[in-house]
Amino acid sequence: MLTIDYANCLSTRVGSHGIDPARVDGSSEEAKGLAAITRSLKETRGTGWERWFGLWNEPMRSEHVGAIKPLVKSLHGKFENMVVLGIGGSALGNIAIQSALNPATYNLLSSKERGGPRMFVVDNVDPVNLAGVLAQCEPKKTLFNVISKSGETAETAAQFMLVRRMLEDALGKKWASHVVAITDPEKGTMRTICDEHGITTLPVPEGVGGRFSSLSPVGLFSSAMCGIDIDALLDGAKAMDERCRSEDLTKNPAAMLAHLLVDLGNRKGKHSHVMMPYCNALYLMADWYRQLWAESLGKRRDKDGAEVFTGFTPIKALGATDQHSQVQLYREGPNDKVFILCEVEKFDEDLTIPTGMGVEALSYLEGKSMQTLLNAEKRATEYALLESGRPNMTIRFPKVDAHHIGEFIALWQIATAYAGRLLNIDAYDQPAVETGKKATFGLMGRAGYEDWLAKVDSALAATDYVV
């Protein structure tokens, strides 16, 4: 199972930049506070915006898996490509799970090697990028998986409008059979479109926000299409969730994770969190984490209305690669970060560095495995960070498989619930994204938003401050 080694967050290891070990003791006041949160979560889990706790439990689990599996089976072998149209929480989980559990070269493999379709996730409206993907995807051989709860997210709507026309031009009335939509089961613009055209749908479950939806059909459908074991994902999440019901802080990974990170922020000024997996497959999991952590905890006001401008800045890095890019800063720049290293104990495949090179300076590498080298680099960085008084922890994966990825996802979602309570903020809203949406409507000429156009043009009037 996934473990967190947090010895290097403590003052015994990093001096004044670390937490007093008394504060992580199971009998401390802090532990009692966290136990109270654990108890309160038992009340709220599965209700309101914490309905995501139900994703790996009955009845939601069987409803979702029971809908996804027959659909995937019915589509099997019919499409050479699948293109996910979505943005934010409707894309990041899909990308993260796919890149963690399928090879980086997945789209270059033969159809037989892959088993599933090639997979593209288009999560932007960059025309060059979108045109490039569409040029790869002959309509007859392509399934489009559009993901939008409302159907009104501008980026996804624009993509969908384009794709729909492309499909209709190529396939006529059969166009709708090349779309699977994941959307609100009851209402909204996308729902209306799907009902009108008979588009197959899967639900975005009620009360599950975008950034908490990767283990709902939002992330599970594309995963299952690409051969990923979605039962194992959910089993892993469930196993982690069970560990996180413990009122003993020292046995509850999510409570401890949230406690460490909030405490290092509040008491030691570490407001940036660097997620640095020593494993390429886990690198894009950091993008999923970035949204969850930033959007949930970055809040101007606390629950009492006080202005707090709280939150942590998530940063992604890759070991060993970023040792040659970021570690100089991480050791000698401002001491304002916590490093969340991820380590893999056993890679699915290993490579042995050959003997017989005949170069003295490189002989120490001969006969060693690449995994040994990579994990030695990780341990060396851990040591170097320690020597500079930089708090860090290690999330250890026995291996990278669907079960452990499920654990990882649940760990962070549950830690977010704890952190929101520790910071006394609402982890489930995102009030600050509204302004940009309305300003975009204004700039795009949507009726009713004329005043926004005027406000933007006035605030951003051209000046001579250009070089």
Name the residues annotated as catalytic: 295, 324, 437
Task: Give CA–CA dist 88/14, Å, rounded.
Answer: 36
Q: Compare residues 4 and 65 and give the one whose CB is closer to its own copies.
A: 4
- Name the segment binding its own copies (CB under 8 A); options: 27-35, 148-156, 230-238, 413-421: 148-156
**Helix H or strand E encompassing 3:** strand 3-5
CB of 381 to its own copies, least distance (A): 5
Is 397 within 8 Å of 404 (Cβ atoms)? yes
Residue 298 interacts with its own copies (CB under 8 A)? Answer: yes
**Contact track, its own copies, 208-237, x by CB under 8 A:** --x---------------------------
Q: Compare residues 279 and 419 and give the one whose CB is closer to its own copies.
A: 279
Tokens of 38: 């654990």
CB of 181 to its own copies, least distance (A): 14
Task: Single out the residue of 190, 224, 208, 212 nearest to residue 89, CA to CA.
Answer: 212
Residue 24 interacts with its own copies (CB under 8 A)? Answer: yes
List 44, 200, 424, 440, residue binding its own copies (CB under 8 A)? 440
Residues in the chain: 467
CB of 337 to its own copies, least distance (A): 7
Q: Binders of its own copies among 263-282, rule CB under 8 A? A: 271-272, 278-281
List 16, 59, 112, 127, residue binding its own copies (CB under 8 A)? 127
List 362, 398, 451, 454, residue binding its own copies (CB under 8 A)? 362
Task: Count the Cβ atoms, other than its own, within 10 Å of residue 358.
Answer: 8
CB of 401 to its own copies, least distance (A): 12
Residue 436 interacts with its own copies (CB under 8 A)? Answer: yes
Residue 433 interacts with its own copies (CB under 8 A)? Answer: yes
Q: Compare residues 132 and 398 and give the one whose CB is closer to its own copies.
A: 132
**Contact track, its own copies, 161-190, x by CB under 8 A:** xx-xx-----------------------x-
Q: Compare residues 59 and 127 and give the one whose CB is closer to its own copies.
A: 127
List 27, 124, 140, 450, residue binding its own copies (CB under 8 A)? 124
Q: Compare residues 232 and 315 and give the one whose CB is closer to its own copies.
A: 315
Task: Single out the residue of 112, 114, 84 nearest to residue 101, CA to CA.
Answer: 114
DSSP class of residue 109?
A: S
CB of 67 to its own copies, least distance (A): 26
Helix, coil or strand: residue 278: coil
Task: Give CA–CA dist 171/362, Å, rounded.
Answer: 59
Cβ contacts of 456 within 8 Å, gap of 6 or more:
439, 442, 443
Helix, coil or strand: residue 405: helix
H helix runs in 108-229, sequence order: 111-114, 127-136, 154-171, 189-197, 217-225
- Name the segment binding its own copies (CB under 8 A); options: 49-57, 225-233, 401-409, 454-462: 454-462
Q: Compare residues 36 and 108 and give the one whose CB is closer to its own copies.
A: 108
Residues paired with 341 in a beta bridge: 276, 394
Tokens of 7: 């010895």
**Contact track, its own copies, 379-418, x by CB under 8 A:** xxxxxx-xxx-----------x------------------
Task: Give CA–CA dist 282/378, Å, rounded.
Answer: 14
The phi-psi region of residue 453 (left if phi > 0; otherwise alpha if psi is between -120 and 50; otherwise beta) is: alpha
Ramachandran angles phi, psi of 275, nearest 5°: -95, 120
Q: Binders of its own copies among 60-99, rule CB under 8 A? A: 87-89, 91-92
Helix, coil or strand: residue 310: strand
CB of 122 to its own copies, least distance (A): 10
Query: Beta 3-5 vs 392-397: how paired, if at all?
Result: antiparallel
Q: Binders of its own copies among 239-258, rule CB under 8 A? A: 250-253, 256
